Amino acid sequence: MIFIFGANDKVVEKQQCYIQEHCYHCNNTTNWILEKNATFASLFFISVFPIKTRYIHYCPICHNGNPLNQEQYNLKKNGH
Ligand SMILES: [Zn+2]
């Protein structure tokens, strides 16, 4: 029997932040995007469980952003 293992990335959550943020890269002040990404282990091309989760906060115009930890992500998500 042959098992086919793999990994694929998925966007789990994506939302616009309530607070406006200034981007020093493109010089615009906008509501940045909060995104939660996860890498899933897959078996026969079906996602089974997440191996790694990443949280990012980025500018919707130039996509310049910062990685966040889970705590920072949840704070921003709740509008702080
Ligand atoms: Zn920008």
Q: How far is the CA of 58 from the centre of ligand 1 (A)?
A: 8
Predicted local confidence at residue 56, as pLDDT: 97
Chain-centroid distance, C-alpha 48: 19
Rounded average pLDDT over 4-14: 92
Name the pLDDT band for 2 (thresholds 50, 70, 90): confident
Query: Going along 1-80, which residue ranges are E strands?
Result: 5-22, 29-43, 46-58, 65-68
Count of structural domains, the chain: 1
Q: Report how far ligand 1's centroid is from the alpha carbon of 29 (Å).
A: 8
**Residues around the ion ligand 1 (C-beta < 5 A):** 23, 25-26, 59, 61-62, 64
Q: Which domain holds residue 65?
A: 5-77
> For 22-79, what is each residue's pLDDT tens digit?
999 999 999 999 999 999 999 988 888 899 999 999 999 999 999 999 999 999 988 7
Give dist(CA 15, CA 34) in Å, integer.
5
pLDDT of res. 80:
61
For residue 77, report the distance from its CA to the centre of ligand 1, in Å: 19
